[in-house]
A = this chain, B = another copy of it.
Amino acid sequence: MSTQGEANLPVRLKEEPATETGAPSKNALKKAAKEKEKAEKAAKRLAEEEAAKVKADANDTSKHLYGPLLTSSPRLTKNFCPSLKDLEGSSESEEVTVQARVYNARVQSAKLAFLVLREQEHTIQVVIAEGGQHGISRQMVKFCGGINTESYVRVTGQVKPPKEPVHSTTISNLELHVESLYVISSAEEQLPLQVKDCLKPPSTKEEGDQDATSTDTNDPNSSLKTRLDSKVLATRAPATNAIFQLQSEICAIFSAYMISHNFTMIQPSYLAGAATEGGSGVFEVAYFDRKAYLTQSPQFFKQMAIAGDLGPVYSIGPVFRAENSNTKRHLTEFTGLDFEMPIREHYHEVLSFGEDLMLHLLHQLATNTKCQYLTTIIRNAGYPDAGTFKLPSAAKEGDAPPKATRITFAEAKTLLKESGYDIGPDPHADIDTAQEKALGELVAAKYGTDFFTVDQYPLSLRPFYTHPSPSDPSLSNSYDFFMRGQEIMSGAQRIHELPMLREMMRSKGVDPDDPGFKDYEDAFRYGCPMHGGGGLGLNRILQFWLGLNNIREATLFPRDPVRLGP
């Protein structure tokens, strides 16, 4: 076994330093031997304990049909159903085996118990009845009815239609009559959170900009904080589960689009030798005897790839922001879907590419079978805005769908002004978050779309590497993309000429002679195509597609100034 595969440091932690010849010391060998012995003993004891449990009740006629599963000797079973929903294809009285969670367990009488099994959004009723072909014992009925909810079990049984449809399960026209049942992994009796309390959106009682801790006992729905603390349980609820499957779909659609447009996937580094993107927003890393910094975006790497003649490039990866903001739309780590491309003649090639990419993505989310199915699960769970996203449609059938709605920054401000918003006297002053939301409503009302783009931001509002606008040097060839009036992407043409870049750095108060910029500036010192690109926020796309209240609902393992786990 080599050293750079899986993280295996807990083993290596105990290693003694090697001797000078490279061989481990005698002491280390002794220690390793001891450890090995310990581990083997532990494994053996566990196997024996398990076996003992099953043998415990000698009077039990069906003791071979249930109990904890011996993980050390898996039974090979026939007709393994890969998924609960596949049971619907089974013929009546066929013997099948499934693995799923216990959603509910109850003993009806000494002779009869019921389980509800759950797998993602699918549930089915399971019947354990005394007697039958295999001679199920009362002990077994009691055992099955007493299994802790959320335990993971393997059930073999016959599929039969119930006497009357089971309305409390998603599979209502079939039930499973148990022949054997093993607990693969038992959940503890007391859980910090019931999956049943996660079926609907998080309680809004705790809302506000802070990740509040108060919960209202009258609201049956668990709070977001509780769900985030017990993420493993919360993610089992169908809607939450569907949210993260939809996230995966977004990544797949994005990647496929980039590949079909001849983009090369690059792997940027996430460690930089200098905090060139700005000191206060950057996480510092102890890097051997010096300091490194987590990159705030793949920006510089994408541009170096372009200068390195890799052509159009994209990346998917974490973005780190050391911003002490505890709002509903900020995280210290999120996933960026980034792209950068050479420009042939005009900056709008970049903007149009981005718009077409987003329209394709949104169209897929709205129409492809799996995305529709997942969105429906979420909508049915009571997320009010899931499935309501407005997209422009073709004027008449057969027409090509319209292009994205694009307005300039100046037009955006005029729209706001006409609707009575105070945009101030300075045409280059930014619009704030509330005004962006209002703009989203105005555009939706005027153009019938929840997705639009804003072009030509004032140069003063953008990073130093942004290319000025050819028609007005106070503006820039830059854009933002919006979903429901919230920004999901920023992008621009980038400066590709070193003198202009250095001039812009100076004018923004950035020192172009900072050694941390050398590698970046070299990209332009050695010749660079005109280019531009942008970075989409994966979590925000998911959040605003579904209209989720908090970006943490669209993030599997969210990180913010307060939260570092799970």
Contact = CB atoms under 8 A, between A and B. Distances in A.
Contact of A564 (B4, B44, B272, B530): B272
Contacts of A458: 36
A80 interface: yes
A36 B460 contact: yes
A71 B13 contact: no
A519 B566 contact: yes
A486 B556 CA distance: 34
Contacts of A255: 252, 255
A299 B6 contact: yes
Contacts of A324: 288
Interface string A249-272: 001100100010000111111111
Chain A interface residue number, banded: 35 or more
Nearest to A486: B2
A73 interface: yes
A259 B252 CA distance: 8
Contact of A296 (B7, B267, B503): B7
A394 interface: no
Contacts of A284: 285-286
A200 to B, nearest CB: 18
Given A264-B248, A509-B35, A557-B269, A1 B522 contact: no
A420 interface: no
Contacts of A528: 152, 185
Nearest to A240: B308
Contact of A9 (B82, B278, B283, B473): B278
Interface in A481-540: 486-487, 489-492, 496-497, 499-500, 503-510, 519-520, 522-530, 534-535, 537-538, 540
B13 A509 contact: yes
Q: Give how many copies assemble into the complex.
A: 2
Contact of A7 (B299, B525, B530): B299
A151 interface: yes
A552 interface: no
**A-B pairs with lowest CB-CB distance, top 4:** A9-B278, A5-B490, A519-B566, A235-B308
A356 interface: no
A339 interface: no
A467 B38 contact: no
A418 interface: no
Contact of A265 (B232, B252, B267, B281): B252
Nearest to A321: B4
A463 B248 contact: no
Which of A36, A284, A510 has most chain B Cβ within 10 Å?
Answer: A36
